[in-house]
Chains A and B, each alone.
Chain A
Amino acid sequence: MAECHPVGFQWVMEAKARGARVIHVDPRFTRTSALADTYVPLRAGTDIVFLGAIVSYILENGLDFRDYVVAYTNASHLVSEDFVDTEDLDGLFSGFDPESCTYDPSSWRYAGTAARSRSSGPGGTDGADGAPHEEGSHGPPLGDGDPERDPTLRHPRCVYQVLKRHFARYTPELVEAVCGTPKDVFLEVCRAWTSSSGRDRTTALVYSVGWTQHSVGVQYIRAGSIIQLLLGNMGRPGGGVLALRGHASIQGSTDIPTLFDLLPGYLPMPDAKDHLDLTAYVDSIVGPRQKGFWAGADTYMVSLLKAYWGDAAQPENDFCFDHLPRVTGDHGTYQQVLDMIDGKISGYFLLGQNPAVGSAHGKAQRLGMANLDWVVVRDLFEIESATFWRDGPEIQTGEISASTCRTEVFFLPAASHVEKEGTFTQTQRLLQWREKAVEPEGDCRSELWFSFHLGRRVREKLARSTDDRDRPILDLTWDYPTEGVTAEPRADAVLAEINGFDLSTGAPLSSFLDMRADGTTSGGCWIYTGVYAGGVNQAARRRPGSEQDWVAAEWGWAWPLNRRILYNRASADPEGRPWSDRKAYVWWDQAAGEWTGHDVVDFERTKAPGYRPPPGSRGPLAIAGDDPFVMQADGKGWLFAPSGLVDGPLPAHYEPAESLVANPLYGQDANPARQRFPRSDNPHQPSGAQSGSGVFPYVFTTSRLTEHHTAGGMSRYVGRLADLQPELFIEISPGLASERGLSHLDWAHLVTARSAVEARVLVTDRLRPLRLGERVVHQLCIPYHWGTGGITTGDAANDLVGITLDPNVHIQESKVGTCDLRAGRRPSGQALLTYLEDYRRRAGIDPATGLPTAANEGIGT
């Protein structure tokens, strides 16, 4: 965090000064470790063992916040008889299909609810299609019926007991053996976490991409959430699971997504097969007995369609639902790039992205882009993704030739964040308005300008078209007011449209609860409704903290409805009383008959704690007065996920796809449902016990430096920053250095099945070998900021990484892999290709490597 969120880290330092204890769990000793009270090393890719052992420590010692757990989580729900755990299937959950490598989740349902069969969709070789992500993105529906419960938590099939059995083998000893974390340090963490949770205390869990960029990334976060739920740290002040986000407003670009399978507000992108009309679409989101606010999905969707197509969107035409594109499978960035290589895609827009350096398997990225008709790059600098065709590494190896590369690259200079106005949304869902500091220079333009005027010109060209396929564009409401010589669209007008209007009066909506499914309201993103309440830009509020209470509700605006903490009903006990004075946040005021407190309550304001839903009710009505998790289909916090995930209802430890060791827990080495792309241009390495794995004897992780930014566009091209870390380097331990005959600042190179990357080595005690039983594991680290362009240049670490993804969200496994480390510089040009060919031969790698077979992953055992 000190490395990558230095400004945010000031608060950690402040908390530390006030007595907080800071624990840093990381394979490497970083700037963060340097300031932490306790640094906890572990082997990259083993956090689920670490977290699972904490869960088991909590359960074995009965340290869970029992009142909270029983009332607010699904601990008491019974799981169906059909469910079989990994403990009994040697690493597989029930419902696995070895052919498609996907799960049928129906056996994970609660006892008493009907199975919902989910069509698995056209997966092709990839394990997951678009759909599962859609479910993961909102409170996924449950089958019909009321879950059976056992509030005593004794029933063998209640979630609590299932959890206990599932994690029973996750012990401190296992942590020492698998993570390499010394037992006493691990127990220190357990004590610290549990002792500062409960009625009077809460603990916040902060994670970032060290947890996400894994083939089991989503389950890492699930494991953390389970602990936070067991300890009662959700929906309470000082608690929560917080993702330290990346790019400014990366949160905003998930709320109003740049993701292929989502529409604004986490509404799923319609699917070509299942969502033939609006009704079918809405039903797929809203279960027959859907509790909570997702039941309003139809109002959110219709308002969105009205925002898109205005008057053209009418009940008769399903509000132009058919104008929406459909997903036919995985259209994620990695699938797309491989499709480019295969010539299935002809054009590519890169608005502030540098995949030639920043995305896994750099070579595939560049070869894909080199096989297009056109690429449009809008960036602050002429980055590698705009110059790959003339100076990419493939020029040297002869795989791309400037003279014959067919791709036409359009480079358009972009206005930076200080040259345009708009909002940033950060990890707490807080929208903060930014003024424009300076006018953009020359031809630099904002994304808003580009999109608006591009759309305008296209519409002009199509104006006389009668072709149906042009209707979606021609019917769009595309009438934003512009200002200035460059005719810059007004960002606040866009924000107002996102907020939505009551179309009968033209007044801005103040709450998504006012949205209607009859076409009388519009709204570009239902969760943002209220940001323009009363026609005022609420995101621009800047009342200093000194002039308001500690919740600071008048600084910016948080979705939904300016709530600073989600599910904050959980900060009060079932009767609506604060769990403790120290942690009082919102509570039920019996006299006034309403909820009150420091924050906007995340609950219907007048719904009494004692409220019980009438039988057969659905939607908000079906949420009992003590069901805090109002977006969940059952109002509960999910320790066990009966639906919504494609790779299991509980986190189980799997080794990374490419690991030094076989999975000590199960015959199943890696996540069986991970998304794979077995093709000769995406070679996988043998893992664990597989023959040939010894060719890549070291673990490597990739990470960041404070001095540089991601793919380097904003740092390698800027002198003052490039100066601070002027060269790429590889960090290795003194032990590994002597093993490979390297000394400080020597040249060396890393080799994987994909590529070889050279740099000088920093021999440092910040990296240390880990002892796993008899075996000593060496981990090394390479920053991924470098590329061929800019003021400081170097090989791109991503050229080492292959394409293997988490099946839920399609994120690449770029935080851990295996490699070889050799002294000296790597071969270049043609010689590099033969060098890698030789490595692949020695490791016996072919496209099938890494695919599930009885031999290498114990399927069916």
Chain B
Amino acid sequence: MTGRRQRAEQAMVPDAEFTSYYGRPVVKKPVWKWDIAAYFFTGGLMAGSSLLAAGADLTGNRRLRRAGRLSAAASLGASTFFLIHDLGRPGRFANMLRVLKPTSPMSVGSWILAGYGPAAGFAAASEVSGRAARLGRAAGFVAGAMAPPIASYTAVLAADTAVPAWHDAYRQLPFLFVGSAAAASGGLAMVLVPPGDAAPVRRLALFGAAADLAAAASMERSIGLSAEPYREGTAGTLSRWARRLTAAGALGATMSRRSRPVAVASGLALLGGSMCTRFAVFHAGLQSAADPKYTVIPQRRRIDAGRPIQAG
């Protein structure tokens, strides 16, 4: 009551900073469960891995190709599971391909996956069986070609919502996501292939880590109030760990040319860092939806500044 009365009173104070209806959320919290955050991670992993596999194939790096194709297939499996498992009506997952809607990142994503999945799967199968090597090669290149969009569309998936922490970050999220994908897949490969074969892996990992950290920093600076959730609560803790692990992993990567243990350790750090990044983003979204201030304050400011959004 008291709380509400204060709000009610504020309501009449002309330049009140923030009013809400009993402190209840304005936008609905995503009903997505943890497995969507996990999919962000595995999706990035498979994308990066397919790229590594394709690159390795072209540069005749057999070990890396094998590792790449297999990790891609593995994370593809995991991704498919997470995606279907999160549906309210898993039995109807096929409806995803009922239409193609450019306005729906999820629809677009489904179609990309529908193309990527078989390719990555086939490449892995031929890798294991050793049969249909040529077709397997082609499939590997197709998968590699589709990998970058796979790594970045999930950012749009999140940003194309009314969730303040996601929507307001739509400029940075794609870079954060591809960076995270590169770092993760690099990290995984560092664990799987001996340092001798892993030079490109280390470079990709470093590139990824750099992109990840840069994007995160730029977000922090430029999305205003919506950056707050990334600093607070679960999301805050996860972001901090993401930064620590990614940085550590990157540092380790530069020193892992000769030492397998160091390579494995830094690889794991990068994987962990990427995982934390994805869950941090996920939770920041939930937190920003749960508290009406993230929705109301920026919009109120726009109006008070006489600059409400215009259609078009």
A745 to B5, CA, bound (A): 14
Main secondary structure of the interface of A (DSSP, over half): loop
Q: Is B310 part of the binding interface, using a Cβ–Cβ cutoff of 8 Å?
A: no
A743 to B5, CA, bound (A): 13
The yes or no answer to B6 lying at the interface (CB within 8 A) is no
Interface residues of B in 1-15 (CB under 8 A from A): 1-2, 5
Nearest A residue to B3, CB-CB: A744
Residues of A within 8 Å of B5, CB to CB, are: 734, 765
Chain B residue contacts of A764, Cβ below 8 A: 1
Bound state CA distance, A763 and B1, in angstroms? 7
Across the two chains, which residue of chain A brings its CB closest to B8?
A765
Please name all residues of chain B whose beta carbon is closer than 8 Å to the beta carbon of A765 when the two chains form the complex: 5
Please tell me the number of chain B residues within 8 Å of chain A, measured between CB atoms: 3
Number of interface residues of A (CB under 8 A): 7
Q: Which residue of B is nearest A745, CB measured?
A: B1
Contact with B along A737-751 (1 / 0, CB 8 A): 000000111000000
List, in ascending order, chain A residues with CB within 8 A of B2's CB: 743-744
How far, in Å, is B148 (CB) from chain A's closest CB? 51
C-alpha spacing A745/B2, complex, angstroms: 11
A765 to B4, CA, bound (A): 12
Query: How far, in whole Å, are A578 and B121 apart by their CA atoms in the complex?
Result: 96
> In the docked arrangement, what's the CA distance between A734 and B6, Å?
13
CB neighbours of B1 from chain A (8 A): 734, 743-745, 763-764
Contact indicator per residue, chain A 750-767, by CB within 8 Å of chain B (1) or not (0): 000000000000011100
Closest residue on chain B to residue A762 by CB atoms: B1
B4 nearest CB neighbor, chain A only: A744
In the bound complex, CA of A764 to CA of B2 (Å): 10
Nearest-Cβ distance from residue B66 to partner chain A, whole angstroms: 61
Contacting residues, chain B, for A743 (C-beta < 8 A):
1-2
- Chain B's nearest CB lies how many Å from the CB of A268? 53
CB distance from A767 to the nearest CB of B (A): 12
Distance in Å: Cβ of A764 to nearest Cβ of chain B: 8
| A763–B5 CA distance with the chains assembled, in angstroms | 10
Distance from A768 Cβ to chain B, minimum over Cβ atoms (Å): 14
Residues of chain B lying within 8 A (CB to CB) of residue A745: 1
| Distance between Cα atoms of A743 and B2 in the complex (Å) | 9
Chain B residue at smallest Cβ distance from A765 = B5
Nearest opposing residue in chain A for B1, CB measure: A744
Nearest CB of A to B99, in Å:
36
Q: Considering only CB atoms, which chain B residue lies closest to A737 in the complex?
A: B1
B254 to chain A, nearest CB (A): 59
> Which B-chain residue is minimally distant from A763 (CB atoms)?
B1
Question: Which chain B residues lie closer than 8 Å to A734 at the CB level?
Answer: 1, 5
**Smallest CB gap from A743: residue in B:** B1
- In the complex, what distance in Å separates the CA atom of A763 from the CA atom of B3? 12
Cα–Cα distance between A764 and B5 once the two chains are bound (Å): 9
Interface string of A703-746 (1 = CB under 8 A from B): 00000000000000000000000000000001000000001110
Q: Smallest Cβ distance from B216 to chain A, in angstroms?
A: 42
In the complex, per-residue mask of A200-231: 1 if CB is within 8 Å of any chain B CB, else 0:
00000000000000000000000000000000
Bound-state Cα–Cα, A434 to B5, Å: 47
Complex Cα–Cα for A764 and B8 (A): 12
Whole-angstrom CA separation of A744 from B3 in the bound complex: 10
**Interface 1/0 per residue, A326-366 and B, CB below 8 Å:** 00000000000000000000000000000000000000000
Complex A-B: 10 CB contacts under 8 Å? A734-B1, A734-B5, A743-B1, A743-B2, A744-B1, A744-B2, A745-B1, A763-B1, A764-B1, A765-B5
Closest 4 CB pairs of A and B: A744-B1, A763-B1, A743-B1, A744-B2
Besides A734-B1, A743-B2, A744-B1, 7 new A-B residue pairs in contact (Cβ under 8 A), listed by A number = A734-B5, A743-B1, A744-B2, A745-B1, A763-B1, A764-B1, A765-B5
